[in-house]
Amino acid sequence: MMVETHMRKQVPLQWWFRMAVLLSLIFFGACSDSSESVSFRKGLKTVPPPSPAVNLNTHNLEQVVIDNGIVSLNLSNPGGYIIGLYYDGAKNILSQKNDEIDRGYLDVVWNETGKPPVFERIHGTSFSVIEANDTLVEVSFLKTWKASLEGSSVPINIDIRYILRSGDSGFYSYAIFTRPPGLPAVSVDQIRIVYKLDEDRFHYMAISDTRQRKMPTAEDRITGQVLDYPEAVLLTHATDPQIRGEVDDKYQYSSENKDNSVHGWITEDDSAPVGFWVITPSNEFRNAGPIKQDLTSHVGPISLSMFTSTHYAGKKVIIEFDKGEAYKKVFGPIFVYLNSFPIKTPFKSLWSDAVQQSSNEEKKWPYDFIGSKDFFPPNQRGTLSGRLQVKDGGGVAQPAKSSYIGLALPGAAGSWQTESKGYQFWTQTDKDGSFSITNIVPGNYNLYAWVPGFIGNYKYQINVIKPGDNINLGSLVFNPPRNGPTLWEIGIPDRSAAEFYVPDPYPKLVNRLYLNDSINGFRQYGLWRRYTDLYPKNDLIFAVGVSDYHKDWFFAQVTRCTGKSKFVATTWQIQFQLENIIKGANYTLQLALASATNSQLEVRFNKPKANPPYFSTELLIGDDNAIARHGIHGLYELYTVAVNSNQLVKGNNIIYLTQSLVKGQFEGVMYDYIRLESPPTTNKQT
């Protein structure tokens, strides 16, 4: 190990010169051929000089400094906050306008039973060096819970780790949560890492190939007009006239876990732009499965690494610890990646490079250089494979292609979407239904799946997977819920309301990023209000065989506004014809919801005022807030309703769907799919 007393070790000048020449050649070479994108990994085939050693400096008792000649990381001692992040010798990338504890940190939202939530930045109480040599430094900042902290600090021991390696243009970070037996009960709502960047430099944000733009400033939000909730602001006085008049809302930049592998910021106004990227190489430590939605980056400039949260899911995904319950889990590591380009023009290529770096990190997962014994390296993990088929209604089994299939803690079918304590491992089947789930942390699991185009959840009990296991389950068959042939259907069973009618936004309440984006149009602010515009007095009526659900089925059944802050329940109608009724038999209504918020859904057949309704959900279902947070789906729920034939008539029939709870404008449901099934065809028809 080399210990330095200065902040940064000087990198040989010829190394910088070689890099500048190489990057310039890459850029100008790319400009000569428009078909080839700028890449940091194409160009001259030269052998790089040896990477500078990693240096650990602990001479200042209040700070720990780790430097590899490319990146320097300044950490408070023993708190473990990131005070400074320096790249290529430039000034601090993090906001120096913020206090030292408010630049880079891990926080937890938690509460004791019956008490309000507590927002806590985790402050280490002891510092230690896990490993230190010329090629790698790993340090630990441990917060140890004591009885004297009850009520003021989450009763979990939290070890925050940082790793800097030789030659890496970035650092790794992870956290180990441990509850030894005997600690008090607690509920945990959210675990995340927060990075707050220099607002004078970072203005351009990127979270996908299509979702990237120059962003408003924090000051623009302060001077703007708050809309229906604090996160949504109309930028009435934005300093940039191209942004003025837009809506900014951090939830407009949410992503599903499966798509949330890299996001961050670029200093696009600099002569030599710099990129800051949060890379998540695995979803195994995130909560609630692959389609759980969460925050990414947003105005601040802020970038987040969300490990667990209640966003788009609600209280069902809170982690509940009983009194005395023991627990251990490793969250991360994630990789904070920094890159740059020597000239301003192609600054967007920093995004492409970050995507490539994300791919490289995924290939290296699980890492083999992590110092904690609680992180399972590749040789201590297992593999599970097999082939999933789907057999719908007694038909021929067919490959369950493009299905999501994965492992989570044991529970009921579909329980993975509300599971937050354990690890989850997901993949998609190929065209013949085959799958292979790799790098599984040893433990007790069930195998879960759902198949696009079919309703319901699949579950298979796996039990324990041990280190080194390579298990092949052979052929598995999913029999999705079905009681009879389909009479009619509305929508596509894909756990989303995206196929339904998503209206255009209000012209004065737009985010211009999504104006020409047909895929992400649902992310515009205020779309729930458009229902009242389209149906000011009478509610939606859908005629089976005549109406088109792409155009005639509003994406969410919300309340209708009848005046200032006045809202009423809505009742939608499904009208359909039956040529014959099978007497004395049960029809089946399959009612799949993609989201619900503070709702009660009532179903009536041909009698709009029947009391009680023929079917009703619980008094209150859902708190995923997907409608207000531009989510297009929250938690999936399937209701199978047996419909006695005496509820139906020959000829014209009407199903009335009422969302009966009304407190404001955000109550409502999103439908995934609705199907009416006839009784089994062996019954006599009349």
Q: pLDDT of 543-559, one tens digit each?
A: 999 999 999 999 999 99
CB-based contact 645:593 (threshold 8 Å): no
Q: Which helix (H) or strand (E) holds 18?
A: helix 13-31
Given this model, what pLDDT does residue 43 score? 35
Distance CA 288, CA 309 (A): 9
Q: How far apart are CA 164 and CA 66, in angstroms?
A: 7
Task: From 76, 560, 168, select the one nearest 364 (Cα to Cα).
Answer: 168
Q: What is the DSSP string of 315-327?
A: GGG-EEE-TT--E
- Spatial neighbors of 242 by CB under 8 A, at least 6 apart, are 214
Amino acid of residue 138: E
Specify the pTM.
Answer: 0.90
**CA nearest neighbour of 239 among 212, 275, 211, 214:** 214
CA distance 609 to 189: 40
- Distances in Å between the alpha carbon of 620 and those of 336, 593, 630, 660, 668? 41, 14, 21, 10, 11
CA separation (Å) from 162 to 130, 306, 320? 10, 17, 28
In the block, tokens 């619900």 appear at: 596
Mark the ranges of the chain whose per-residue pLDDT is less than 50. Answer: 1-46, 683-686
How many whole angstroms separate alpha carbon 248 and alpha carbon 553?
Answer: 28
Which residues are CB-contacts of 31 (< 8 A; sequence separation ≥ 6)?
none
- pLDDT at res. 394: 77
Taking the CA of residue 103 as centre, how many other CA atoms within 13 Å lie in the half-sphere pointing to its CB?
A: 24
Q: Is the dihedral of CA 320, 321, 326, 329 positive or negative?
A: positive
